[in-house]
Amino acid sequence: MLVLATGGCLFGTAGSADPATSAQTAWAPLPASAAGALKDPREQRGREVFQQRCTACHAAIPKDGIGPPYMPAMAGTQALQARYKGAKPAELEQRTDLTGDFVNAIVRGGLNSMPFFRPTELSDDDLSALGAYLARKQR
């Protein structure tokens, strides 16, 4: 009986959804302020993805330097700050040199201490939107 009851969980069912974009996801869009809304809907979705998935490590370093428990504040931003030593902004949202292809490669493959993210963790559509958002300042 237990095998039959868990079979749908282990092997999926016709009703299962992509966890990165389903309505049941914990990563539902954050409410955007009207003043801060981007005109391009893909870039707007990319901002939502960044806020949901990336800010824990890649947002601005808090002035008090306090981050999540047992972690340095904005570990990704600090790592980029140490790497670039002021030659490039450490905050990803401030960069003007990022391309969608570069963002895709780093997110899917990981780099140094940054883990890779599978399509089941971040859908291809959301990754494409993230790339569009982070590359928007390049234009």
What is residue 31's predicted lDDT score, i.e. its pLDDT?
52
Report pTM: 0.69
For residue 73, how many other CB atoms are within 10 A of its CB? Answer: 17
Give the per-residue pLDDT at 56.
84
118 phi-psi bin (left φ>0, alpha ψ -120 to 50, beta other): beta
Q: Are 87 and 80 in contact (CB under 8 A)?
A: no
What's the pLDDT score for residue 104?
A: 96
pLDDT, tens digit, 9 for 90 and up, residues 13-67? 344 444 445 444 444 544 544 447 778 899 999 999 999 989 888 887 777 666 6
CB atoms within 10 A of CB 27: 18
